């Protein structure tokens, strides 16, 4: 039904290179997340797909049709803006009906009413329909703007951080709703976020964008379990991955300051490496290393321990509330098969 392909898209704004050779393929029914820090070029990517920005190089295909010269109206995509603007001089109903009233569609008013009511029910905003948009809360506005996208069946939903301006609780519930909506209607979605939790929880596939380039492209598992660079490794996962510089000595990577060593089955790949250890892969209680607990952060479902050994402080997560006390000296080990090795320039080995 719908299929979106970007081929080597480049876009410059004066001196800043916003996108560099970006290629993406979003399949039908897929929930695709574009994850990246601020200024990475996420919004620009969406705007190029929607036709609001013209790429300098490369091609956009929607359903295998070349769209490079097409007007936004003719591309049949829906856009939920980052800094959303509902049409302020219209009621919520008129906002939702606006895309359906487009001269391109010419729907009878009866069908418009039916579709608007349906969308409003899905998003639970039926009671707001007669209101002016200026009087809505942030969450309500965001529902309305999502509603304006789902009243029609566009080729693709482009959502630019639709949840980022909401408080944590609302964000969580809308996240679930959105995912549910996407799965029940089977709509292709390109969702932009800088929040790794949103990305990991919602995505079928994730592309990580940094400084206009796609760093990695894969399922949430790929991204989390096989990060292709230290940048990706640090971007996903809370608490952050531990990155430890180590040198090859006597058949293992060893840290210079502390007495840590990391075995690597297939031998030395480089003289010096960065070893990535996810906090949950640090196992306190048993192991070859000893360290002092310098901070305990109990979060309920899990507890974060900061363990200092030599000059290095490792983050460690244990599930549930832990009996480990501040200042305790304990032994710990690593889940050896889950270590990540990176070159000093950040590339995965």
Partner 1 sequence: MANAANAPRQKVVISTRVDKVSTGARLTSSFRATIAVIVALIMLIPVAWMAMTAFKTRPDAVAVPPKVFFEPSFEGFVSLLTSRRQLTNDEIAVYQQRTDLGWADQIALIRGQAITGPSAFPRQLLNSLIISGVSTVFSVGFGVLSAYAFSRFPVPGKDDLLFFILSQRMLPPVVVTIPIFLMYRQVGLHDTHIGMVLLYTAFNLSFSVWLLKGFIDEIPREYEEAAMVDGYTRLQAFRKIVLPQATTGIAATTVFSLIFSWNEYAFALMLTSDAARTAPPSIPLVLGTGGIEWAAIAAGSLAFLIPVVIITFLLRRHLLRGVTFGAIRKG
Ligand X SMILES: Nc1ncnc2c1ncn2[C@@H]1O[C@H](COP(=O)(O)OP(=O)(O)OP(=O)(O)O)[C@@H](O)[C@H]1O
Question: Binding residue for ligand X (CB under 6 A) from 44, 145, 196, 229?
Answer: 44
> Is residue 148 within the footprint of partner 1 (CB under 8 A)?
yes
> Is residue 164 within the footprint of partner 1 (CB under 8 A)?
yes
Residue 173 interacts, among Mg ion, partner 1, ligand X, none and using kind-specific CB cut-offs from 5 to 8 Å, with: none
> Is residue 89 within the footprint of partner 1 (CB under 8 A)?
yes
Report, in Å, the least distance between residue 15 CB and ligand X. 9
Question: Binding residue for partner 1 (CB under 8 A) from 15, 69, 71, 250?
Answer: 71
DSSP assignment of 40-73 equals: SSHHHHHHHHHTSS--SEEEEEETTEE-TT--HH
Q: Which of 46/330 has CB closer to partner 1? A: 46
Contacts 24+ apart (CB under 8 A), 80-84: 80/145, 80/146, 80/148, 80/149, 80/157, 80/158, 80/159, 80/160, 80/162, 81/145, 81/160, 82/43, 82/160, 82/161, 82/162, 82/164, 82/192, 84/141, 84/142, 84/145, 84/162
**From the CA atom positions of the chain, what is the Rg in Å?**
24
Which region, judged by CB under 8 A, interacts with partner 1, from 97-105, 221-229, 233-241, 291-299?
97-105
Find the binding residues for ligand X in span 200-259 (CB under 6 A). none
User: Rounded to an integer, what distance in angstroms lies between the CA atom of residue 126 and that of residue 114?
Assistant: 12
Question: Binding residue for partner 1 (CB under 8 A) from 1, 65, 73, 344?
Answer: 73
> Is residue 138 within the footprint of partner 1 (CB under 8 A)?
yes
> Is residue 82 within the footprint of ligand X (CB under 6 A)?
yes
User: Rounded to an integer, what distance in angstroms lies between the CA atom of residue 217 and that of residue 147?
Assistant: 29
Instruction: Name the DSSP class of 141.
Output: H
Which residues contact partner 1 (rule: CB under 8 A)?
A: 50-52, 71-73, 75-79, 81-89, 98-99, 102-105, 133-134, 136, 138, 141, 148, 164-165
Which residues contact ligand X (rule: CB under 6 A)?
A: 13, 16, 18, 36, 38-44, 82, 194
């Amino acid at each position: 039904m719908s299929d979106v392909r970007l081929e080597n898209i480049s876009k410059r704004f004066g001196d800043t290179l916003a996108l560099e050779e970006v290629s993406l393929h979003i399949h039908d029914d897929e929930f695709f997340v574009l994850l990246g820090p601020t200024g990475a070029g996420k919004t620009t990517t969406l705007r190029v797909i929607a036709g609001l920005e013209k790429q300098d190089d490369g091609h956009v295909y929607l359903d295998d049709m070349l769209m490079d010269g097409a007007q936004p109206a003719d591309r049949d995509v829906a856009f939920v803006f980052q800094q959303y603007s509902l049409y302020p001089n219209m009621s919520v109903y008129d906002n939702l009906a606006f895309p359906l009233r487009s001269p391109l569609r010419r729907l009878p008013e009866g069908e418009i009413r039916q579709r608007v009511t349906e969308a409003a029910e899905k998003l639970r905003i039926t009671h707001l329909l007669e209101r002016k948009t200026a009087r809505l809360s942030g969450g309500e506005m965001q529902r309305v703007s999502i509603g304006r996208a789902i009243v029609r069946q566009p080729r693709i939903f482009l959502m630019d951080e639709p949840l980022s301006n909401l408080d944590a609780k609302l964000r969580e519930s809308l996240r679930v709703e959105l995912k549910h909506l996407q799965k029940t209607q089977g709509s292709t979605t390109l969702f932009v976020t800088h929040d790794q939790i949103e990305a990991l929880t919602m995505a079928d596939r994730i592309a990580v964008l940094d400084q206009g380039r796609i760093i990695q492209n894969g399922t949430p598992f790929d991204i989390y379990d096989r990060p292709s660079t230290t940048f990706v490794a640090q971007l996903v996962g809370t608490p952050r991955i531990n990155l430890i510089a180590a040198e090859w000595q006597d058949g293992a990577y060893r840290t210079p300051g502390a007495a840590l060593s990391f075995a690597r089955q297939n031998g030395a790949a480089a003289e010096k490496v960065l070893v990535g250890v996810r906090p949950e892969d640090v196992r306190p209680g048993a192991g070859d290393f000893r360290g002092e607990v310098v901070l305990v952060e109990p979060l309920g479902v899990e507890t974060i321990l900061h363990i200092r050994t030599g000059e290095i402080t490792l983050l460690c997560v244990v599930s549930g509330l832990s009996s480990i006390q501040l200042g305790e000296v304990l032994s710990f080990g690593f889940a050896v098969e889950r270590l990540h090795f990176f070159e000093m320039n950040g590339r995965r080995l």
